[in-house]
Structure 1
Amino acid sequence: MLQHKSTIEFGIIGLGRFGFALAETLADAGKEVLVLDNNENKVKQIRHLTDNAFVVGALDKETLEDAGIQNCGTVIVCIGEKIDVSILTTLNVISMGVPRVIAKAISYEQGRVLEKIGAEVVYPESDMAIRLANRLVSTSILDSIELTGDIAIAELKLTHKIAGQTVLQANLRKKYNINIIALEQEGVTTTDITPDKVLMVDDKLVVVGKRINIKKFEEFLTGLR
């Protein structure tokens, strides 16, 4: 297959809903993707996006090497439901020297095992549930991503409480210890935000900082503080 090919950016093992969406999004972004699954129909569905899509009957080390998974810079193992297969496949990929291995987990117990063997772990269902909950309980937070520790990235909709102020006048770094990383204004998004930029009602502001500080800013926007 791809045994002697030079480095490929991403390898994806497993074409469930999570794996397929991941492969599709990466390919649409112009990234080179190697995809493996035991279901021929699923592999056929992804072949219009990548030539490197192969049907594999097993996920032992020999089969993975023959497919060329060791040539990938990052491999994502998307087999959360079959815990034993997930762990063994992840272990095989790590033992092949892939620089970065990410594994999907459906429970924290499974995730702890995957972390102990050297993988980064993602919890798609849990992460999506947290993001949805944040949107449901907040009138200003449009979306949020939980990072390590107590740090988060959040997108907030600005209200009259801050409208008309410049970024310098709002001074979010000093008042709330959060940093602006992007601004969407009148449908245009930018990361080049100058101190004299005037903020307006319904602007979307993307900030990063401690969750408790983002919450304080959100409460200010909604008039709770």
Structure 2
Amino acid sequence: MKLTGKNKRTEETASYGVIGLGRFGSALALSLAEAGKEVIVVDSCESKVKELRQYTENAYVADELSMEVLEEIGIQNCDTVIVGIGEKIDTCILTTLHVVNLGVPRVIAKAISRDQGAVLEKIGAEVIYPERDMALRLAKRLLTGSILDNISLNNDVEIAELRLPDIYVGRSVLEMDLRRKAGLNIIALQHSGKTEIEVDPEYVFREDDILVVIGKKENIRKFEKDKDE
């Protein structure tokens, strides 16, 4: 078993744990940390963990996610833990079970199929389907506003669907630089009924694109206000 981290965690209490630092997990952990929340992050990839160590001291590289390892990290001290490793179904289910058994009050797990989600619910987790849920909501809700839908993660952070402002049509993701200019992270892009979760920095925005972003609520609202002015 290999476990490395900047600080060893024992009795100190954390509010959130994020296990799995893919695009979704990394953006979620970053947004929570920037909102002033204490966050534990865990992944098997050292480079992904290293990227988040400037935002949280509780960043750990673990090549296995046994109950013993998770307990050593201090996951049981979290109020909420998000398991964001939906693509690795067996690892996701077993890790979620460990977190539930450690007594974490709220466990949220990412799933990529209904069968996987059903198992996760059976063991006591709340289930989210980030990309699918956003696409379904877009299809069902024909709203005139720019904020099409949102998921509140806590009092400060939410995931929101935004209509692309006209001023960004013809510009690339890199040129838009939403992370630096607005404090928002793009986690998915929707166009012509399709949802892309791997957003190419060189992608040039087209009319009717829908952005799925994660960030502080105040930054989302400010982005909307600035767009309309």
- TM-score between the two structures when normalised by the length of structure 2: 0.61
Matches within 5 A, 1:107-118: 107-118=113-124
Q: Report 1 or 2 for greater relative contact order, CA contacts < 8 Å, sequence distance ≥ 6.
A: 2
Q: Deviations over 1:51-103 (max 9, x none)?
A: 00010010011111111111111110001001000000000010011111110
**Equivalent residue pairs, number:** 157
The sequence identity of aligned pairs, in percent, is 60
- TM-score between the two structures when normalised by the length of structure 1: 0.62
**Relative to 1, partners in 2 of residues 1:61 and 1:131: Cα closer, same or farther, differing over 3 Å?**
same
SS of aligned partner of 1:8: coil
**Relative to 1, partners in 2 of residues 1:46 and 1:113: Cα closer, same or farther, differing over 3 Å?**
same
Contact 2:19 2:43 in 1 (8 A): yes
Alignment match of 1:143 (pick from 113, 128, 148): 148
Q: Residue 11 of structure 2 aligns with which residue?
A: 5
RMSD: 3.1
Matches within 5 A, 1:23-172: 23-133=29-139, 137-140=142-145, 142-145=147-150
**Relative to 1, partners in 2 of residues 1:43 and 1:146: Cα closer, same or farther, differing over 3 Å?**
closer
**Relative to 1, partners in 2 of residues 1:24 and 1:146: Cα closer, same or farther, differing over 3 Å?**
closer
Q: By how many angstroms is 1:129 displaced?
A: 1.1
Contact 1:134 1:141 in 2 (8 A): no
Q: By how many angstroms is 1:118 displaced?
A: 0.3
**Relative to 1, partners in 2 of residues 1:53 and 1:11: Cα closer, same or farther, differing over 3 Å?**
same
Q: Residue 20 of structure 1 aligns with which residue?
A: 26
**Relative to 1, partners in 2 of residues 1:142 and 1:98: Cα closer, same or farther, differing over 3 Å?**
closer
**Relative to 1, partners in 2 of residues 1:140 and 1:98: Cα closer, same or farther, differing over 3 Å?**
closer
Larger Rg: 1
Q: By how many angstroms is 1:139 displaced?
A: 3.8
SS of aligned partner of 1:118: coil
